[in-house]
A and B are shown apart, each in its own frame.
Chain A
């Protein structure tokens, strides 16, 4: 239905455009001097017709399902009236299936009545959309048509609308941020209403399984997130131990030493590495690196968990090498050549120049690059989901299995979920922590660059 309506919108727009343009041309033919080109008369008229239709659709989309649902539920006989939300959903689904003719078997007569009400209400809603949309388009058309005249400033009116649309496009970024903040904030507040926030932030035990029956022992569900923070930190540290030095040295070599031919080979290598999806790294970490580390550890007589933090951390480190190197590369390149020349002129070797002159000058940028890399490592999901563990062990031994914030968010939210349990809500609390932690890191990184950057020009 909605796609049909979109087709209708396109058809109306085309018709209005053609009409408006021909009117514009008729004015020219009549010898009048137009303010705006005929095309703009068409565009103006089309906009006036389309906007009411879009408004109608925007109003209809959230309202129609509610209306249909209410009508269907009202039609249910008293003995089938749902007692709770779950039953209500089941009844609605059944009625929908019966109405669409996909119900297997013979439906209950009560459900059949509801199904009739459902189809009836749906038809009404669709007709309402059509009527509303076409009426709006007609009104817009009538209004616009009266304004078309040789001296009408059609271009200015149309450009005004365009500008509003462009501003709306830019506003999507703000809306997204607001959406993220609200969606995690509300659920997080609901979580903290059931579970004290200090226990969440400082508790040492993470076991989100909640009791199915009230009398079950040890199933109370404790949400002490410290083991998750510790696990995330451990894996992040391992990753940064790989990505920090390797990424930095790669950047130094690429910007200070590499000949154009070496650059032509090395740069694509890093770019390809950056373009590999994280799920591929996860597969590699879980199926190749982790067993390899385990077998190496066993030959050395160490006991290594099959989902060791080391495997996930190493692979994650490799994943962020290109990130560190490309950011540092930009920063190092931004150091003016005159500083290097001065250092060479004093007789310093290249490496001395880099260590004593270039790196100190680029330090704020490098620090911010490393901070951005940390935020990337903390928020990375697929590698740890596939290669790290699920149990919240509070340990800093890289050979043991640890779990991370992102793993828990994914584990708690995938599969069946009831939106009222502390278990599900705790995932949003974790998301809240994750979002604000990475946001803070980004803001601090940008601040560092702004504050400590040397202005050379």
Chain B
């Protein structure tokens, strides 16, 4: 009894309270805390990434959900809107509605007379979709021909971006002094009793300094890059560096001369002055006065009190924008007249794809996805459940069954693009099914999600206790009756959950659809499973490749729609599981 307390001979003795032991314990506890922190860090990293991803998409998507429209009144005449002078719908369909809009715009800006300006007014302001709006209006009610009609015309995507503030930064400042306007030939000369223009000049000098600094940075970067290359490439780089240095030096010299007047070229931020109901674009600024060209005519040349005129600075230089100052001035003028308003872009949900970003919508892709999912569901639910029932309930334990099981597990891990190859070689080339059709897409996706559904269904069937089966058999049911009348209905919630999760997976799948040609540009909304169509994730891929900023916004918006569908489907699966799952 007492020999337990006696240490065995030769054992090392550890004093639990010695300094050494305390230090060791501290080290071990620190290691414990570190290890735990790694774990928290890993989960936090995943969570942060998820938050960043979703907020990034949401922020990018916002501009796609609104659109700016111009509320304008036009008078369609019979000659314009009818190709043969009758109000026959066929004739009205092929009328020249652009001409009506052109006349309407001309009425808004009667002073635009030169050919070049007129072309700009007709082409850069409104979307080609505006004519469609007018056509639909006239077709719906031919009585409006010859009458003034008020329509909401969609802006072109560049104008829309400007109005949303995504094209350039805007800085408005009210004039501090009394402004004098004098005409000087084509130009207007403005003076102010306060140092308004001196401040504007200082801003210009500041942007020159920034430009010089940017040039210097670029030159430094290229110098570093030039060290790695040799020969012709190096010479070209060195020439470019010398150019940049020269530009930077020139800009710095201009910026240093604080009082020297500056010409506002296209590579400097634009300054527009709103005065007397008109808009003047400044071309030259000195400390005391500014000279500019008229973009929107002034009502008069009276002196204007302080605070009644404004200077608008567009921070993005004209050379770097898709919209020049003239169109900006028209837009600002229309905005002041209260004819521009932002609306919810329902078009995004009700129209098909388009080359024009402002008119593109996801309806075609949504219907394409829906048809594809329909084919997938019709095929993979019965086949998947049938296979699961056989493997779980009837299959004898033999090599064929083993082979099938190994096959199903391996198929679940085959890359999705390989299923695309299968679809291309088998369904398109061998069976000659139509390209780009939801039928083929659905077939391929059905094969893709089949393993998921079989595995989930087998798990659901397995969870039904044997007592159910035995009770059914005991009262004289055949094996199949026991399975189909008793086991399968009880397993149905689990099977449904697995099917929904599989369908959600199929809905987001893109790669196999690319290979079977569902990537074509398709304007029409598909009507059947053999029509050419595209699917929502493929539409996302297609739009993400396009350079227009509005298409990027629409890509993000389409992603939100896709994610919304996926969340609904997964939520439904969770609900089904919670509601119907039985623990035996």
Chain A contacts to B: CB under 8 angstroms: 62, 65, 155, 159, 162-163, 165-174, 176-177, 179-180, 183-184, 186-187, 245-250, 252-254, 256-257, 266, 269-273, 275-284, 286-288, 298, 301, 303, 318, 321-322, 349-352, 354-355, 372, 375-376, 378-382, 385-386, 406, 409-410, 413-414, 419, 427-428, 431, 434-435, 438-439, 442-443, 446
Contacts and interface: CB of A to CB of B under 8 A. Distances in A.
B314 to A, nearest CB: 24
Contacts of B47: 266, 269
A410 B514 contact: yes
Contacts of A187: 425
B514 A163 contact: no
Candidate in B46, B225, B447 with the most chain A CB atoms within 10 angstroms: B46
A163 B390 CA distance: 8
Contacts of A186: 425
Interface of B: 28-29, 31-32, 34-36, 38-43, 45-47, 49-50, 53, 56-57, 60, 221, 224-225, 382-387, 389-391, 394-395, 403-404, 407-411, 413-422, 424-426, 429-432, 447, 450-451, 454, 478, 480, 504, 507-511, 514-515, 517, 519, 537-538, 540-541, 544-545, 552, 555-556, 559, 562-563, 566, 570
A253 B20 CA distance: 30
Given A183-B425, A288-B56, A354-B35, A321 B46 contact: yes
Nearest to B510: A279
Given A382-B541, A431-B418, A250 B519 contact: no
A275 B570 CA distance: 9
Contacts of A170: 386-387, 390-391, 395, 404
Contacts of A162: 480
B450 A172 contact: yes
Contacts of A381: 415-417, 510-511, 514
A275 B517 CA distance: 25
A432 to B, nearest CB: 9
Nearest to B413: A442
A320 to B, nearest CB: 11
B390 A428 contact: no
Contacts of A269: 43, 46-47, 50
Given A167-B390, A183-B426, A246-B46, A177 B56 contact: no
A-B pairs, 3 with minimum CB distance: A379-B415, A277-B508, A253-B39
A280 B403 CA distance: 36
A439 B410 contact: yes
Contacts of A176: 407, 411, 422, 447, 450
Contacts, number: 260
A249 to B, nearest CB: 4
A269 B28 CA distance: 31
Nearest to A318: B49
Nearest to B383: A169
Given A179-B422, A427-B421, A438-B413, 12 more contacts: A170-B390, A173-B411, A177-B407, A248-B42, A250-B39, A250-B42, A269-B50, A283-B559, A380-B415, A386-B545, A406-B511, A413-B420
Given A176-B450, A414-B519, A439-B410, A169 B422 contact: no
Contact of A278 (B56, B385, B508): B508
A321 B473 CA distance: 46
Nearest to B56: A288
Given A176-B447, A277-B508, A301-B221, A282 B386 contact: no
B432 A273 contact: no
A266 B43 CA distance: 7
A127 B580 CA distance: 49
A434 B415 contact: yes
Contacts of B28: 349, 352
Main SS at interface, chain A: helix
Contact of A169 (B386, B411, B545): B386
A349 B29 contact: yes
Contacts of A65: 432
A38 to B, nearest CB: 15
Candidate in A165, A378, A413 with the most chain B CB atoms within 10 angstroms: A413
Contacts of B541: 279, 282, 382, 385-386
B42 A246 contact: yes
B35 A351 contact: yes
B42 A253 contact: yes
Contact of B562 (A280, A372, A413): A280
Nearest to A62: B431
A254 B421 contact: no
A246 B45 contact: yes
Nearest to A380: B415
Given A170-B387, A253-B42, A280-B562, A179 B426 contact: yes
B386 A250 contact: no
A168 B404 CA distance: 11
B32 A349 contact: yes
Given A159-B480, A246-B46, A253 B40 contact: yes
Given A171-B404, A180-B421, A438-B413, A283 B39 contact: no
A419 B430 CA distance: 12
A428 B382 CA distance: 31
Contact of B418 (A180, A282, A349, A352): A180
A184 B404 contact: no
Contacts of A431: 417-418, 421
A318 B46 contact: yes
Contacts of B411: 173, 176-177
Given A174-B403, A351-B35, A250 B46 contact: yes
A163 B394 CA distance: 8
21 contacts: A169-B384, A173-B451, A184-B418, A187-B425, A247-B42, A249-B39, A249-B42, A250-B46, A253-B40, A273-B46, A276-B53, A283-B555, A287-B552, A354-B35, A380-B415, A381-B514, A406-B415, A431-B418, A438-B414, A439-B413, A442-B409
Contact of A272 (B34, B50, B562): B50
Contact of B419 (A180, A249, A380, A406): A180
B389 A166 contact: yes
Contact of A282 (B389, B517, B544): B544
Contacts of A349: 28-29, 31-32
A420 B408 CA distance: 33
B39 A257 contact: yes
B349 to A, nearest CB: 19
A279 to B, nearest CB: 5
B48 to A, nearest CB: 10
Given A272-B50, A351-B31, A386-B544, A303 B225 contact: yes
Contacts of A355: 35
A262 to B, nearest CB: 8
Contacts of A379: 414-418
A447 B221 CA distance: 52
B537 A279 contact: yes
Candidate in A167, A168, A173, A410 with the most chain B CB atoms within 10 angstroms: A173
Candidate in A253, A283, A385, A413 with the most chain B CB atoms within 10 angstroms: A283
A301 B224 contact: yes
B53 A159 contact: no
A283 B167 CA distance: 22
A369 B413 CA distance: 12
Contacts of B416: 379, 381
A226 to B, nearest CB: 20
A62 to B, nearest CB: 7
B413 to A, nearest CB: 5
A406 B508 CA distance: 18
Contacts of B221: 298, 301, 303
B414 A275 contact: no
B422 A276 contact: no
A247 B49 CA distance: 13
A171 B413 CA distance: 18
A173 B566 contact: no
Nearest to A410: B514
A355 B38 CA distance: 13
A164 to B, nearest CB: 10
